[in-house]
Structure 1
Amino acid sequence: MAEHNEKGKRAEELAKDWLTGKGYVFREANYRYSHSEIDLIFEYKDLLVFVEVKFRSGVGFGFAEEFVDYTKRKLIIKAADHYIHENDWHKDIRFDIVGVYQDKNGNVNFRQFEDAFY
């Protein structure tokens, strides 16, 4: 597996643990539909939360939310629509972005953008 893929998977695991610690209930990881993928899916306070995780080893090239473009958002929404139908979900939903930032000393920080798009 390429190094950037390994970092991405590690960032997803870290984000999953971090959100679980905040009271989010984990449902699924890497949900795929057609050419779309949702990194993490949680339940939180009667919401179904679809989470896109982005790893950054600094902010020199921008913040995590800047790397979820229009095309990526549309793919995530397409997969979410399928998941909602497949699981017969009738409550509210939300799309979040979680940035996982690692500094040069290996320290990890998180930045969550709730209701980032739709």
Structure 2
Amino acid sequence: MAEHNDLGKSGENAAVAYLEQKGYLIRDRNWRKGHFELDIVAAKDNELVVVEVKTRSDTLFAAPEDAVDLPKIRRTVRAADAYIKLFQIDNPVRFDIITVVGNDGNFKVEHIEEAFYPPLY
């Protein structure tokens, strides 16, 4: 596997550990259906939390959350809609971003709650 894939997987593991430590129940990781994909789907306080994870070794060129642009937001919202319909979920939904910066074993994790809202089309 390419080094950046290993970093991404390690970052996602760090994000899951962070969420579990904060009392979140992890429902799914890397959920896929057709062309839809969600990094982490969690639940806490009767709320569904869809988490986009962005991992970088450093922030020299850009902050990791800057990679979550409008097209990515739209894809994530459509995927969340498919997930909600498939599992017939009737809870409020929140969209978060977790940034993970560093190298395996030495990560700085930042949790941005309500990072974005579904855009109006």
Taking structure 1 as the reference length, what is the TM-score of the superposition?
0.92
CA distance in 2, matches of 1:106, 1:32: 27
Residue aligning to 2:49:
49
Percent of pairs with identical residues:
41
Task: State the superposition RMSD in angstroms.
Answer: 1.5
Say if 1:64 and 1:97, in contact at 8 Å, map to a contact too. no
- CA shift for structure 1 position 3: 1.3
Q: Which runs of 5+ in 2 are unaligned?
A: none
The reply on whether 1:116 has 2:115 as its aligned counterpart is yes
Supply the distance in 1 between the matched residues of 2:36 and 2:96 (Cα, whole angstroms): 16
Aligned length: 117
The answer for the alignment partner of 1:20 in structure 2 is 20
Tell me how far apart the structure 1 counterparts of residues 55 and 36 of structure 2 sit (CA, whole Å). Answer: 19
Q: TM-score w.r.t. structure 2 length? A: 0.90
1:102: which partner in 2? 102
Q: Counterpart in 1 of 2:3?
A: 3
Distance in 2, matches of 1:3 and 1:57, equals: 11
Query: What are the superposed Cα offsets for residues 52-82 of structure 1, whole Å, 9 maximum, x if unpaired?
Result: 1011112111212101111111111111000
Distance in 1 between residues matched to 2:70 and 2:36, nearest whole Å: 13
In the alignment, does 2:36 pair up with 1:36?
A: yes
Q: Aligned partners of 2:31 and 2:61: how far apart in 1?
A: 28
Letter in 2 for 1:96: D
